[in-house]
């Protein structure tokens, strides 16, 4: 490079009036030079026919819009039936919602009463258990009833596969 500075190649405007008369057009369409609108008398029959069709369709569209705005008696009956059905459904929903709220309140009340009864039951059980003197029960069993502790040979152990309870139909054999 001989010390020259290269410039970007976007000075297209400088070349407009010079020898080449090149015009750069950017974009995806080319403009028509000296394009003038067609005069009214120069319209073709096809364009006139299309305009008449548009006028006819717009008149029919206007008529259908007017017809659509009118409320006829079958439409009124239909709307009334729909309104009644909607009202009945809403009223049933409100009744079910009210019933559900009532049931929830009853459930909460019964749960609290069960909790209170359980607390009373536990308190009574603790009171009964604390009032029993196990030493006195042992003394009465040994002295008055003649009970004695079991010896080694009198205890028979067995295992059960059922965890509930066992019914004894006969005496347990002593070995």
The set of residues, in sequence order, having a beta carbon less than 8 Å from that of 16 and lying 6+ positions away, is 22, 23
Rounded to 5°, angle at Cα 131 from 127 and 136:
160
Q: How many residues does the chain have?
A: 175
Query: What predicted TM-score, i.e. pTM, was given to this entire model?
Result: 0.37
pLDDT of 169 reads: 78
The first and second tokens of residue 157, run together, are: 């152990």
The first and second tokens of residue 43, run together, are: 């319209």
The set of residues, in sequence order, having a beta carbon less than 8 Å from that of 135 and lying 6+ positions away, is none
Tens-digit pLDDT profile for the chain (175 aa)? Answer: 455 555 555 544 554 445 555 666 666 666 666 666 656 555 567 777 777 776 667 777 777 777 777 778 888 899 999 999 999 999 999 999 999 999 999 999 999 999 999 999 999 999 998 888 888 999 999 999 999 888 888 887 777 666 667 777 787 776 6
pLDDT of 101 reads: 96
Chain center to CA of 9: 61
In sequence order, what E strands does the chain have?
none
pLDDT of 113 reads: 96
């Amino acid at each position: 490079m001989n010390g020259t500075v290269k410039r970007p190649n976007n000075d297209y405007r400088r070349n407009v009036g010079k020898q080449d008369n090149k015009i750069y057009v950017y974009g995806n369409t080319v403009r028509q030079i000296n394009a003038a609108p067609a005069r009214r008398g120069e319209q073709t029959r096809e364009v006139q026919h299309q305009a008449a069709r548009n006028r006819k369709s717009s008149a029919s569209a206007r008529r259908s819009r007017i017809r659509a705005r009118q409320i006829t008696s079958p439409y009124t009956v239909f709307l009334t039936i729909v309104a009644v059905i909607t009202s009945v459904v809403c009223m049933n929903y409100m009744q079910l919602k009210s019933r559900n709220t009532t049931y929830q309140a009853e459930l909460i009340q019964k749960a609290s009463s069960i909790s209170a009864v359980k607390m009373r039951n536990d308190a009574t059980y603790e009171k009964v258990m604390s009032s029993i003197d196990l030493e006195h029960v042992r003394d009465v069993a040994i002295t008055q009833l003649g009970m004695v502790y079991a010896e080694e040979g009198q205890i028979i152990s067995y295992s059960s596969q059922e965890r509930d309870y066992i019914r004894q139909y006969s005496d347990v054999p002593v070995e």
